[in-house]
Each structure stands twice: as C-alpha cells, then as structure tokens.
Chains A and B, each alone.
Chain A
Amino acid sequence: MITEATLKNKVTDLYKENKDRIFSNDPPEIRKLREDAFNRFLQLDFPTTRLESWKNTDLRKVLEKDYSIMFEPENGNVDLDRIFRCEVPDFDTHIISMYNGWYAYRDKPLIKLQNGTIIGSFGQAMKEYPDLVKKHYNQIAKTDINGLNALNTAYAQDGIFIYVPDGVETYKTIQMVNILDRDDNLFVQNRNLVILGKNSKMTLVHCDDSHNQHASFTNTITEVFMDEGADLKYYKLQNLNNDTSLVNSAFFHQEKDSNLATFAISLNGGLIRNDIHARLNGEGSHADVMGLYLLDKDQHVDNQVHVTHAVPNCTSNELFKGILDDHSSGVFNGHILVEKDAQHTNAFQTNRNILLNDKAMVHSKPFLEIYADDVKCSHGATVGQIDNEALFYIKSRGISEYNAKLLLMYAFAAEVINEISIQPLKDRIDDLVKKRLRGELAVCDQCVLHCKNQEQAYEFKIDMSKI
C-alpha cells in the first residue's frame, strides 16, 4: 500500500512541478481538460483488483517500481537510422515512430500530404491544427472509467496524430512503431488521435516494442473517429520484454456504414492490458475485433473488449484466441451492449483458450447486455487442451510429439491470422507466430522492425508429406 501511494505521490508532485512544460502546446480548452482529468485521477487512483474490471489484473508490482518520467524529448541522441532501418518485406509502409514516448522525425514533426492527409506528432498538431484536435480530442475516450485513463489525459504531451480527409484512401499502410530504449525505467503516457473523414480508407499497423531489458510502464490512449463510410484496418502487435507493462486503451467511434477491423496480437510482454471500446453509432456500421495471445513464463495479458451497439442494423464480431504456458495468465472480458432500440443487431463473441499446463490460468468473461428484442447475439467460450486424438494421429505418422504440438498450436492460432487481409502482413505475422511457438522469438529480435534481413518466410521443419 505504501509503495502504491508513492507512484501516485510522484505523479502528483511531478504534475504540479512541471505544469509549464506539460501545458506548453495546449490550447486553453485542453489545459482545462487536463486539470479536470488530473483531479479525477486523484479521486480514482490507480486501478486495483477491487474493481470488477481489474479483478484479474494486479498492478501492484508494476506500481512498486521506480520510474522516471520525461517531460521533454531527448535531444540529439536519437538513432534515427536504427529506428527506420526495417520494413516488412514486399510491404510498402509509411513508418512513423515514437521513441521513448516522443515523436521521432527526420525533417518535420507534422507532414501534410498533397491529398490533405496529415500525419505526425500529436503535440505539434495541437499547435498547428487546434480546431481539428479540439473537435475530437477526448470526445471518444472515457476518462472517468479508471484512473489510468484520467492520468493519461492529464499527462500525455505527445503521440501520433493522423487526419485523413473525406474520400481519401491512404496509398500506403501506415506503420506506427513505439520504441522504448533507455537506460532506466520509464513511465510513458502517449495519446494518439486518428480522424478518418467520410469514405476514407486506411490501414494502420501499430507496434509496441522494447529494445532493452529495462522495466517500463506505458499507458496509451488511442482515439479513433470514423466518419460515414470510413474504413479502417488496425493491427496492433505487442512484442515487449518480460518486465514491461503496457496498458493500451483504444476507443473507436463509428458513424454510418463505417467498417472497422482491429487485431490485438500479443506475442511477448510482462503485463499487457488491452482495453478496446468500439461504439457503433451509425446504422450499417460493422466492427471486427480480433485478438491472439501467446503467453509463457510469468506473462499476463488482459483483453477487455466493449462493443456498444447504439443504433439499429449494425454488426459486430469478436474472436479472441490464446495459448498459455508456464505460469502465464490470460484474461478475456468481452462485453456486448445492445442499447434500447438498436434493433436488427447481429453481435457475436468467441473466446477460445488452450492451457498447456496446470500452472497457467485463464479467466474468461464473455458478457452480453441486451436491451432490444430483435437481435441475434451469441457468445461462446472454451478452455481446453490440445486434442489428444489429433495429436495421436500426427504422431502415428512418424512426427515427433514436439512438432505435432507445434502444428496443432499453429493451426489453432491460424484462425485469427487468416482474418488478416493484407497478404505480406499476414505472412509476416504468420512467421512471428511460428517463431514464437518454437520459442525462437527473442526480445532483442524485435517485431516488424527486423524483418528486412529475413530472406524468406519462416517454416516449421516438419516433413508434411507424412501426413
């Protein structure tokens, strides 16, 4: 309890001491937002297991550590070449990067492309496009549901800002890379804001990586506003070292006929919490929320998915799958809320888990809350193990038990991977999952950044002709 109070005291003191620096880019309205949010944080405090939604995720150990907080980016020693050295093979992306919580750039912090798309630093966007930011900032995120969200609103100075005007289709996939690489423990609070105009289209790949073995604590909020007919594919990859804690809250607001596909793929990480809130606010909109978590050691992943159907004729689909080994623990909490009058809703929710030993743990809570009658909603959750008969079949064909298990686990994960619609990215994630299952995905061998050197796709060395 005493240590818990310490981090709270620390952020409180630092906030008061550094107000000048925190407020430096802010329009006055946002200044007020920060103050309100900070007061709310003081009331709410860091979440504890006494809260229903944090029941299975204990932050105490995370909060015990001593973190440093940066109020200004480091000057000079950002190794840009190191950041931008890799891309997914055959996959032309526009890379934007956060380095230790600050937007890293070569020339300008905020780029405006010819078609009107704006990409760059959120801090800079507050200065250059205050009206655009004010219109959507903190409109979608709920800062009163837990202390971390409130703290983020009070503290966050930088992040990524993307604006896609009406009718524009971004010709390249945008890749956001979030890198932590510092010689001490870091507490980072980022704020991303993505605004998609009418009938615009974008694919976003969001990677969280760590480049060293230091403990760090990232608390991110991503707000996404999707106007009528907008289409977003949002892939989130998490490959962090085992001392890292990441709380990632994403809020999606969908207008009429918009289409969202989001993936949360957790490959490594000490403690990962994904809070995904999708609000279907216009008729005909659709949300696919997918996730995959492959855990071992003492890792903990908590996926909280809230899908709100506010209007009629929307559809949503959730699929989360997990494989858990060693002392790892996984949490899935899906919550579909169909509001009154949201008739003709179709909402589905599935969570499947494989436990590889008796020390791993799964908590699954697929909730439905429905206030309209003409709806089709279903949910399913299973926890089980690798099918012994399938295992026997493969073994009887002369394939070792180890390889047979790999195959079956891969097949289990493939259901989520197959939903990825961009082929090169799918191949890449496919590789990562295969490597991960073999235990060959090291933390120093980070994520999508290192793939340029990858000659060809990774394959299990199993003689498939036997099957």
Chain B
Amino acid sequence: MANTKNNILEEVTQSEYKYGFFTDIEMDTAPKGLNEDIIRFISAKKKEPEFMLNFRLKAFERWKKMTEPDWAHLNIPPIDYQEIIYYAAPKKKPKLDSLDDVDPELLETFDKLGISLDEQKRLTGVAVDAVFDSVSVKTTFQDTLKKHGIIFCSFSEAVQNHPDLVKKYMGSVVPAGDNYFAALNSAVFTDGSFCFIPAGVRCPVELSTYFRINSAGTGQFERTLIVAEEGAYVSYLEGCTAPQRDENQLHAAVVEIVALKDAEVKYSTVQNWYPGDKNGKGGVYNFVTKRGMCKGSHSKISWTQVETGSAITWKYPSCVLLGDNSIGEFYSVAVTNNRQQADTGSKMTHIGKNTKSTIISKGISAGFSNNSYRGLVKISKMAENSRNFSQCDSLLLGDKCGAHTFPYIDTQNSSSIVEHEATTSKISDDQLFYCLQRGIDTEKAIGLIVNGYAKEVLKQLPMEFAVEAQKLLAISLEGSVG
C-alpha cells in the first residue's frame, strides 16, 4: 500500500494531463450547427422510431424558448451553439461480434486510458460499455448479463431492441424541458448507455461506461437511463476523459435512474475531462443533469462522484424520494486547480414518508480556481419523519482560489429533521509539520492529507475506481503547493 502511495505521489510531481492524447480515427460527422434538420439528420442516422424524433423535436422547441442559466457561481464564456458539431461517430462497419473486430487503434486508446476492454474482461469482471465520441463501440459481457435477463447496451441499441422500455422511462425523471442543458441534450443526444435490471436480480458485475470526447469541435451529448425493477441491485461506474485541445468542448449529458420498490442503484463517476491548461485555455464545459427517482418504497439511489476535470462543471446529481422509506445518498469530492470552476452539489427532494438522505461533499480548491457547493434539501408537506444530514467541507490550498457553499433548505413538515453543517479551512500547519518532521516533503504531505480528507467519499467508490480516484486527486493538485 505504501508503495502504491509513493507511486501516486511520484506521478503527481510529473504529470500534467496524462489523458491528453488524440486518436486519429476516421469520423463520420454532421455539419456544424443546430436546427431541425440536424435533429432529423441525427435521428435518421440512428434509424430511430417516430416517437424518438418527436421527443427530440419537442425538446428543441422548448430549448429555443429557454435562456442559458446564469445563477451559478460560474463565469461561463458565451457559447455559440451553432458552432458545435452535434454528431460525430467513428466510421463504423456493421455490428462487431468480438473485440478482434474493433479498430485496433481504438483499442489502443482504451489501453492508454487504462481500461483495456480485454483486460477488464479477463481480470476484473467489469462489463464495459465504452462511448467514444457519442457512439458506443463495444459492449462486453453481454452473455453473462443476458443470463440474468439484464439489458446493458448502448442507448441506440436499446431504442432499436427495447423501444417499449425506452418509451416508458425516457424523460420520466428528467423531462425534456427540465432545464436548458437537459433540453439541449434531449434534442441532440447521440448515444449513451441503457441498463435494465429485471425484478429480483442482483447484477453480478459492476457495469461500467467510459466516455471520451475525441474529435475537435464536437460536443458530447450522451444520455444514460438505468431502470432497476422491484428488488433489483446494480452498481454502475462512469468514467470520463477528453483529449487536450485549445478550444473548449461542450459536454451536456443527462442521466436518469429509476428505482422501483426495494431496488438499489449505486452510481459512481470519476470525471476527468480535460480541465484546460494552466492559463485556463481550452478544457471541457461539463453541464450535466443527473437525477434519480426512488419510485417505489424502500428503494435507494446512491451517487458518488470524484470530479477533478473540466474547465467548468455545472452538475447537481439529485434524488427524488417519492416512495416511502426510500433513501438518497450523495458523496462527492470536487477538486479544482488552476483556472477551473466548479458549481456542483446535490438536490434531495423528500416526498414520501420516512425518507432519508445524506449529502457528504468535499471541495478542494487550489490555484486560481473557484469551487462551489450548491445544494437543495426540500422536505414537502407529506414527507413525515423524513431525515436529512448534509455536510459540506471545503479545503483551500493557496490564497488565490475561492471556496463557496450555497445550501438551500426548504422545510414544510414539522416531523422531519434537516441538518446542515459546513466548514472551510486550509490544511492545518500542525498536520503539515507532523509530516514534515517525519521526513515527508510538503507536496507528498499535502497529497496524503488531501486523500485523508476525501477518504469518507473515496471509500464509497468500488475498488477499481478508488485507486484511480486517489491518483487523480493527487494529479489534479500537482503544482498547487507553494
């Protein structure tokens, strides 16, 4: 373990953005711009049924009437939505049967990312659905999952093969007109993942997708839909990286989770989009709408996120606790360095009786960055005996950065209890001194302390991710000392 940590810290001292390579694969792209024709083009390209096209067009109508949200503590440079390519797919041959059919260059990309499909398949037993610029390339472990009746495939496949399920659940948690970016996504989303766990099934492996933005000037608009039927369980991992580019790339995703009675969904994200260079040039705009609906009683949805990337993050994974006795959880570590900006947090809406929610958020800001927690806990009239606990801590490294906390608490029920607490501090000199006098240099000591600070959240991550997340934390903070 000690050895691993040393490695981590060694990497820290050297690396910049290590995922910043660019894969040269022939792309099939749509012309720049956004209008009805583009949407029809995307829909036709994906051979979608009528209801999908209608859903998209309706969302586009709503989007045209909306304005970009400006309430977040972010400085978002104007985005020209007509300058974005809304569809970019690797030029794809007919459906692939085995890994051998996949473009070797693409496989190499995944190798570099450290998620070699092959290796994952053999060693870790994780089923991976990799999304490479919007089109899902390969889904592993289909057979194992099929045995249990689990559907785990790309969104477009789901549209083709399970239109009823898609029709029933798509937009039921995040409606097409929910907010500006969700509406944009609903209009132009290209692919994503679909996951359906039938009643009573406990998914034997951890499902995983990797998102990566590759070609220049594209936006990534993926859409994930997870449905857990009565008594089902699934743990879902999502990882994100993007190549290093000067211009900003837009990522506006939607994730919807539906948990029926007694179901449990655990959703973990390690977000490591390209954050831009030291002067804030380039980087991904990450504007994501994630929401889970605890529809049935005793259901549970748990979000865990490690956010180290993106130039701008605007993201509030939330839970609607509709079923009685349902549980919502949110664990987050958000790191910002250099010129990064993050406005992230969670929304817990308590509607059912005896519902419980927990929010643990750890923000770390360094360099010239600004890191905000923004969260809402809403207890409705009917939510008797509901309970919330929120803790939002911020750690400041350096005196040029900012750490902010904007919690909103709305309570309408007298039998519920809501607690919120937050602290802001820097790394204590005592802790640092202790490490130093044991011969650990400052940078390493900070790596250690930060990891300890974030431990509460990191321990929520599945094993494979926890190691990666630790590394990411350390890398993100590289050069922030002094």
What residues of chain A have their CB less than 8 Å away from a CB belonging to chain B? 52, 340-341, 343, 353, 355-385
Contacts and interface: CB of A to CB of B under 8 A. Distances in A.
Given A343-B399, A370-B396, A384-B418, A363 B424 contact: no
Interface string B411-425: 111111111111111
Interface stretch (B49-57, B111-119, B161-169, B402-410): B402-410
A362 B409 contact: yes
B420 A382 contact: yes
A84 to B, nearest CB: 43
13 contacts: A358-B413, A362-B410, A363-B410, A367-B404, A367-B406, A367-B407, A373-B401, A375-B425, A380-B419, A381-B407, A381-B420, A385-B414, A385-B417
A385 B411 CA distance: 11
B417 A384 contact: yes
Contacts of B394: 368, 370
Given A358-B412, A370-B403, A382-B417, A375 B426 contact: yes
A379 B417 contact: no
Contacts of A382: 417-420
B398 interface: yes
B410 A356 contact: no
Nearest to B378: A363
Most buried by A among B381, B401, B422: B422
Given A368-B404, A373-B426, A383-B416, A363 B399 contact: no
Contacts of A343: 399
Given A52-B71, A363-B409, A381-B409, A369 B414 contact: no
Contacts of B400: 340
A52 B408 CA distance: 12
A388 to B, nearest CB: 10
A340 B399 contact: yes
A369 B420 contact: no
The SS class assigned to the B binding surface is: strand
A383 B386 CA distance: 11
B270 interface: no
Most chain A CB within 10 A, of B394, B404, B409, B417, is at: B409
B418 A378 contact: no
B407 A365 contact: yes
A367 B396 CA distance: 17
B371 to A, nearest CB: 10
Contacts of B417: 382-385
B415 A383 contact: no
Given A355-B414, A379-B405, A383-B411, 18 more contacts: A340-B400, A343-B399, A356-B414, A358-B381, A363-B410, A364-B410, A364-B420, A365-B406, A365-B409, A367-B404, A369-B73, A370-B396, A372-B396, A373-B397, A377-B424, A381-B409, A383-B409, A383-B416
A372 to B, nearest CB: 6
| Closest A-B pairs by Cβ, 8 of them | A373-B396, A355-B414, A364-B409, A383-B411, A377-B424, A368-B405, A378-B423, A380-B421
Contact of A378 (B404, B411, B414, B421): B421
Contacts of A357: 414
Contacts of B425: 375-377
Contacts of B409: 362-365, 381, 383
B402 A369 contact: yes
Interface of B: 71, 73, 379, 381, 394, 396-426
B411 A353 contact: yes
A188 B409 CA distance: 33
Contact of A369 (B379, B404, B411, B415): B404
Contacts of A383: 379, 409, 411, 416-418
A118 B402 CA distance: 43
Contacts of A375: 396, 424-426
Given A376-B425, A380-B421, A383-B418, A355 B413 contact: yes
Given A373-B399, A373-B401, A382-B418, A366 B424 contact: no
Nearest to B403: A370
Nearest to B409: A364
B265 to A, nearest CB: 28
Contact of B399 (A355, A369, A372, A380): A372
Given A355-B414, A363-B408, A369-B404, A379 B71 contact: no
A52 B419 CA distance: 23
A358 B386 CA distance: 13
A384 B413 CA distance: 9
Contacts of A366: 405, 407, 420, 422
B414 A374 contact: no
Contact of B405 (A358, A361, A367, A374): A367
Chain B CB within 10 Å, residue with most, of A341, A353, A378, A381? A381
A359 to B, nearest CB: 8
Contacts of B423: 376-378
Given A370-B403, A372-B399, A379 B421 contact: yes
Nearest to B397: A373
A373 B405 contact: no
B405 A371 contact: no
Nearest to A341: B399
Contact of B415 (A359, A360, A376, A385): A385
A361 B411 contact: yes
Nearest to A364: B409
Contacts of A374: 399, 426
Nearest to A335: B406
Contacts of B398: 373
A358 B409 CA distance: 15
Nearest to B372: A369
Contacts of B412: 358-361
B448 to A, nearest CB: 19
A371 B71 contact: no
Nearest to B370: A371
Given A355-B413, A363-B409, A380 B424 contact: no
Contacts of B406: 365, 367
Contacts of B407: 364-367, 381
A385 B417 CA distance: 7
Nearest to A333: B408
Nearest to B429: A374
Contacts of A378: 421-424
A371 B402 contact: yes
B411 A380 contact: no
